[in-house]
């Protein structure tokens, strides 16, 4: 798993435009869920296109520790099989569950464990051990589960799942698909109706996949609020899952192509769930040349090909309501905004403070270190674009955050001087092969634009 030694990396502006047709690794959110639902269903689930990044491998290991048989068809194949235990059939893990860097894995697993009558202890890396868990453990406790944690509800965390779990009724106070999904997963093994209200729609992969596995899920919209209901203890039947490409990973080559003059790339087989593609809306409003082709439905999720070409960008205001649909994309949008003409305001970014790092401060620091002018005002990020890439030449602290590392490297492909990151090793949590893929897009006379400093 993760290597303890930091891996610095520098990004240089390529001599030629970026060009090519590519696929990005499987969607991280869908990959976690496919393994978890597969483990809870009866029968064998076959998953193709699974993201074989460290975060998802942690989920695979945890589901194995809970008694599911999880096997990979061949190294790097992306094809996995899960022989499920059936709802309520998980066994007590013999050791601590280590969720590495993954908040999604940790929080969703809390939901599963809360309604299983077993004892488990969960931990994670230094980044995950700093992240708030009360947002899931407080509402989950109402089902009868007991949690003991470090101060502030942080990992390591001990869970004693409920013997006779009660269904939950909860209004999620922050827009969080992780919290919503944890409660739905808990409700799976409780009798009766679990009812969740979310003030803003967040990614609905759990709802889609629950239906795909045969559960009864209702969604009602009341203005901006969504009410999701789940009938507990369904017959969860194993179902094959074809995982689409992750739009959050595609954001990096996509923005790079928009910023490097003359570039044109095509990304195939990308997940295009409307609750995930706020970044595309922003970039189009900024004047980006992005077209979507060949759209289709794959396993209940919209999928298509995306073509992006370099174009000059202009500043926009990003409304706070858009945040849940692009929550992981702000660092790379900030890079695009720094290259655009005018002042971009990104509103309502409070949730960015509790990601793999405090992404709001870290994004501002990344840009400042490379000569861009930015400001944090309350929960808003303001980027003063100059119409041309920042000077670069800075060293970026990535704080164990894969998306900061990739955003900084994208900036380095456009900046005047190379941009260096202190540690690129965390990129493997979500985007194994990122460096080779980006280098493959640039015909740079045999010299790789992303290389050790």
Minimum distance of ligand S3P from residue 225's CB (angstroms): 16
Please compute, for residue 411, the number of CA atoms within 13 A of its CA located in the half-sphere on the CB side.
36
Site string for ligand S3P, 336-375 (x = CB under 6 A): ---------------x------------------------
Interface pattern 277-306 for ligand S3P (x via CB under 6 A): ------------------------------
Q: Find the catalytic residue in 98, 204, 328, 428.
A: 328
* Position 407 contacts ligand S3P (CB under 6 A): no
Nearer to ligand S3P, 419 or 434 (CB): 434
328 sits near ligand S3P (criterion: CB under 6 A):
yes
Best CA proximity match to 111, nearest among 151, 73, 138, 93: 138
Name the residue nearer to ligand S3P (CB basis): 122 or 327.
327
CA distances from 132 to 135, 347, 356 (A): 7, 22, 11
Helix (H, G, I), strand (E, B) or coil at 213: coil
Please tell me whether residue 102 binds ligand S3P under the rule CB under 6 A: no
Closest CB to ligand S3P among residues 357, 370: 357
**Residue 135 Cβ, how far from ligand S3P at the closest point, in Å?**
8
Report which of 272, 281, 274, 269 is spatially closest to residue 305, judged by C-alpha positions. Answer: 269
Q: Which is nearer to ligand S3P, 28 or 310 (CB)?
A: 28
- Where does residue 373 rank: exposed (0-12), middle (13-18), buried (19+ CB within 10 A)? middle
Q: How many CB atoms lie within 10 A of CB 218?
A: 12
Helices 359-368, 402-414: axis angle to 10 degrees equals 20
Structure tokens at 168: 């939950």
- Look up residue 422 and give its two tokens: 């202190």
Closer to ligand S3P at the Cβ: 104 or 398?
104
Q: Contacting ligand S3P (CB under 6 A), which of 13, 29, 263, 338?
A: 29
| φ and ψ at residue 82, rounded to 5 degrees | -125, 120
Give which of 325, 333, 270 is closest to 302, Cα–Cα.
Answer: 270
Distance from C-alpha of 132 to C-alpha of 127, rounded to nearest angstrom = 11
Q: How far apart are CA 141 and CA 82, in angstroms?
A: 29
Q: Is 202 in the site for ligand S3P (CB under 6 A)?
A: yes
Q: Respond yes or no: is residue 240 known to be catalytic.
A: no
Of the residues 115, 127, 137, 178, which one makes contact with ligand S3P according to CB under 6 A: 178
Total residues binding ligand S3P (CB under 6 A): 11
b/e for 265-292, b at 16 or more Cβ within 10 A?
A: bbbbbbbbbeebbbbbbbbeebebebee
Interface residue with ligand S3P among 250, 327, 381, 441 (CB under 6 A) is: 327
Least Cβ distance, residue 403 to ligand S3P (angstroms): 9
Closest chain position to ligand S3P (CB): 29
Q: Nearest approach, Cβ of 333 to ligand S3P (angstroms)? A: 14
For ligand S3P, the binding residues in 204-263 under the rule CB under 6 A are none
Q: Tell me the per-residue interface mask from 138 to 177 with ligand S3P, x by CB under 6 A, - otherwise.
A: --------------------------------------xx
The Cα–Cα gap between 163 and 143 comes to 10
Q: How far is the CB of 66 from ligand S3P (least distance, A)?
A: 19
Looking at the DSSP bridge assignments, the partners of residue 169 are 195
Torsion of CA 107, 111, 114, 116, to 10 degrees: -120
Q: Which of 181, 189, 344, 357 contacts ligand S3P by CB under 6 A?
A: 181
Q: Smallest gap, in angstroms, from Cβ of residue 371 to ligand S3P?
A: 28
**Nearest-approach distance from CB 47 to ligand S3P, in angstroms:** 16
Distance from C-alpha of 375 to C-alpha of 150, rounded to nearest angstrom = 34
Q: Count helices and strands (H / E) in the chain.
A: 12, 24
CB 173 to ligand S3P: min, Å: 12
* 329 is a site residue for ligand S3P (CB under 6 A): no
Instruction: Catalogue the active-site residues.
Output: 328
Contact residues for ligand S3P, defined by CB under 6 A:
29, 104, 176-178, 181, 202-203, 327-328, 351
């Amino acid at each position: 798993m993760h290597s303890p030694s930091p891996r610095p990396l520098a990004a240089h502006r390529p001599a030629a435009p970026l060009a090519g047709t590519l696929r990005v690794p499987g969607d991280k959110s869908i990959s976690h869920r496919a393994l978890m639902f597969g483990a809870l269903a009866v029968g064998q689930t076959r998953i193709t296109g699974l993201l074989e990044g460290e975060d998802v491998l942690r989920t695979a290991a945890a589901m194995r520790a809970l008694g599911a048989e999880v096997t990979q068809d061949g190294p790097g194949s992306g094809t996995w099989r899960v022989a499920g235990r059936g709802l309520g059939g998980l066994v007590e893990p013999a050791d601590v569950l280590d969720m590495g860097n993954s908040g999604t894995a940790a929080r969703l697993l809390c939901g599963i464990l809360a309604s299983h009558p077993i004892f488990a202890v969960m931990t994670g890396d230094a980044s995950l051990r700093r992240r708030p868990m009360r947002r899931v453990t407080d509402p989950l406790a109402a089902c009868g589960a007991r949690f003991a944690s470090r101060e502030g509800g942080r990992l390591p965390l001990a869970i004693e799942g409920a013997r006779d779990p009660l269904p939950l009724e909860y209004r999620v106070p922050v827009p969080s698909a992780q919290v919503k999904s944890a409660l739905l997963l808990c409700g799976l093994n409780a009798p009766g109706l679990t009812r969740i209200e979310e003030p803003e729609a967040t990614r609905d992969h759990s709802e889609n996949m629950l239906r795909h596995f045969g559960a009864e899920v209702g969604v009602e919209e009341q203005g901006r609020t969504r009410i999701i209901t789940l009938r507990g203890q369904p017959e969860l039947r194993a179902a094959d899952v074809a995982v689409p490409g992750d739009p959050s990973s595609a954001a990096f080559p996509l923005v790079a192509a928009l910023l490097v003059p003359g570039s044109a790339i095509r990304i195939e087989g990308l997940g295009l769930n409307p609750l995930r593609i706020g970044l595309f809306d922003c970039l189009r409003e900024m004047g980006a040349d992005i077209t979507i082709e060949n759209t289709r439905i794959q396993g209940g999720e919209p999928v298509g090909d995306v073509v992006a070409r370099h174009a000059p960008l202009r500043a926009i205001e990003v409304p706070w309501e858009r945040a849940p649909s692009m929550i992981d994309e702000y660092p790379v949008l900030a890079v695009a905004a720094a290259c655009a003409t005018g002042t971009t305001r990104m509103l309502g970014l409070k949730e960015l403070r509790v990601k793999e790092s405090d992404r709001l401060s870290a994004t501002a620091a990344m840009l400042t270190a490379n000569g861009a002018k930015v400001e944090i005002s309350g929960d808003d990020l303001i980027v003063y674009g100059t119409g041309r890439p920042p000077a670069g030449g800075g060293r970026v602290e990535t704080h164990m955050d894969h998306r900061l590392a990739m955003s900084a490297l994208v900036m380095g492909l456009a900046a005047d001087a190379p941009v260096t990151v202190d540690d690129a090793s965390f990129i493997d949590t979500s985007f194994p092969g990122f460096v080779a893929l980006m280098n493959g897009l640039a015909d740079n006379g045999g010299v790789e634009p992303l290389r050790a400093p």
